[in-house]
Amino acid sequence: PTRPIDQLVKRLRRAGQELVEERQEEQADNNEPRLVVIGGGAAGIELSMAVHSQWKSILPQFKTGDSEPNVCVLDGNAQLVPGESDAARHQLQSILRAKQIDVLPNCHVTGIDADFVHVTVGDSSDHNSNNRNNKKVSYTHCIWATGAGAHPLAFSLGQHRGLDVTSHGWIRVNEQLQSTSHPFVFAAGDCASIMTTTTTTTTMNTTGEGTLRPLSVPKAGVYAVRSGPILIENLTRQLEALQRQEQQRQANEYDAVLAPDLIPYQPQDDFLKLLVCGDGTALGFRFDLALYGKWVMEMKDDIDQEFMDLFRVNLDEAPPSQDGTYNTTQYDDTPQARQRAKLVPHDTKEAAGVIQRQDDGVNYQQAWAILRRMANDQDYRDQVLRHTATNTATNTATNTAT
């Protein structure tokens, strides 16, 4: 399993060291190490490339470059990254192909033993079992990376305390991240399922009120991270309301205490997905574009470092906002972000050329600033995307002609 992540890292390092020692002592039985990654999502793809690079760097038979480590990804979907564009999928497939990482699509695990992962291959929606094939996939090392799972605590609270949870164990919350059944419970990130009120004529109930439906928010870190400031602000407001209520009680004042004015979390429609390729480069997906190269890896590293910097700041020295509320824009409103914004070219054709480059000379700070401007400025984004489409068509025509 991939969690806890520190234990996964330790196991992978230990496995790599054991492989090296076996070959140094000539104890290997001539069977090449074979990694099988169960799960074709972002985590599974990244781990397949990470272990591939690790084995390639430490095992003698791969250092010459004459052969590649044996790595296979078992994907339950018909194709990788089904929610992305064809261009993004093609770029990812090209990277995996260059590393000779195999992908087995429409693959569903039915069992695992000491030597094989047992799977059925075929469309899971096809109820005709004759259209699915049973297969055994051999392995020496196996990583299980099949996505987020609910915490047992959520199931327990749902069963024994009546907390409103979904059938998968996600805690149902409103747009203020407040439990739909227990107002004093808040939840955010992967553990929660955000419900929103719809008021169309087709969804109105008999009392004329809107009905709740879940928002389609992926189980991705960016949503958990960006809901954090909203969660802190709403917890603070809730606690302040409870404090006022207690003060009234002690003063024998029984005026009605208004519920706290909580602020809604508004998840973004899309986000920048970044996959580390294990060789100093990374692949990004945004605006249906495939972003690739060393600069993408540098950008990802800086994004992660800036996020961690938030935890290195002395909170006692953090300046309060003008109205006394928590700064919910902290991830975008930083000195670094303001400096990067100055690098954005006004020429949208130039901007398109920058983010489509894959060489090592790209200024990742400028490329990052362009992507941020595209996210916040619809007109700018549309113009840049028109130029990227033109560039792609021109390159395709040139490659076809040659």
Q: Please give the C-alpha separations between residue 56 and each of 2, 11, 23, 26, 180, in angstroms, as whole numbers.
A: 21, 17, 14, 18, 50
**Residue 201 has what pLDDT?**
47
Q: Is it the case that residue 247 has pLDDT exceeding 90?
A: no
Among 336, 364, 338, 367, which residue's Cα sits nearest to residue 350?
367
Q: Is 19:58 a contact under the CB 8 Å cutoff? A: yes
Q: Is it the case that residue 123 has pLDDT exceeding 70?
A: yes
Residue 305 CB burial class (10 angstroms; 0-12, 13-18, ≥19): exposed
Q: Give the amino acid at 277.
A: C
The model's confidence at residue 215, banded by pLDDT at 50, 70 and 90, is confident
Q: What is the C-alpha separation between 188 and 171, in angstroms, rounded?
A: 9
Q: What is the C-alpha separation between 66 and 338, in angstroms, rounded?
A: 47
Q: Is it the case that residue 272 has pLDDT exceeding 60?
A: yes
DSSP 326-357: --TTTTTSSHHHHHHHTT--S-HHHHHHHHH-
Among 45, 21, 36, 9, which residue's Cα sits nearest to residue 113?
36
Q: Is it the case that residue 9 has pLDDT exceeding 80?
A: yes
Of the chain, the end-to-end C-alpha distance in Å amounts to 47
Q: Which residues, in sequence order, are bridge partners of residue 295? A: none
* Sheet of strand 34-38: strand arrangement: 101-104, 70-74, 34-38, 141-144
Q: Give the amino acid at 101.
A: I
Between 203 and 169, the higher pLDDT residue: 169
- Helix, coil or strand: residue 194: strand
**Residue 198 has what pLDDT?**
60
**Residue 101 has what pLDDT?**
96
| Element housing 104 (H / E) | strand 101-104
The model's confidence at residue 204, banded by pLDDT at 50, 70 and 90, is very low
- Helix, coil or strand: residue 220: coil
Average pLDDT over the chain, rounded to an integer:
87
- 128, two tokens: 């005709």
Residue 137 CB burial class (10 angstroms; 0-12, 13-18, ≥19): buried
Which DSSP state fits 189?
Answer: G
Q: Please give the C-alpha separations between residue 165 and each of 9, 151, 186, 189, 212, in angstroms, as whole numbers.
A: 32, 11, 13, 14, 13
- Helix, coil or strand: residue 198: strand
Determine the average pLDDT of the residues in 364-370.
97
List alpha helices for 212-333, DSSP H: 221-250, 294-309
**Residue 28 has what pLDDT?**
54
List alpha helices for 135-196, DSSP H: 152-161
- pLDDT tens for residues 109-121? 999 999 999 999 9
| Element housing 292 (H / E) | strand 289-293
Q: What is the C-alpha separation between 39 and 299, in angstroms, rounded?
A: 26
- pLDDT tens for residues 140-193? 999 999 888 888 999 999 999 999 999 999 999 999 999 999 999 999 999 999
**Residue 257 has what pLDDT?**
56
- Does a cis peptide bond (omega within 30 degrees of 0) precede residue 267? no
Between 341 and 336, the higher pLDDT residue: 341
**Residue 324 has what pLDDT?**
56
Q: Which residues, in sequence order, are bridge partners of residue 103? A: 73
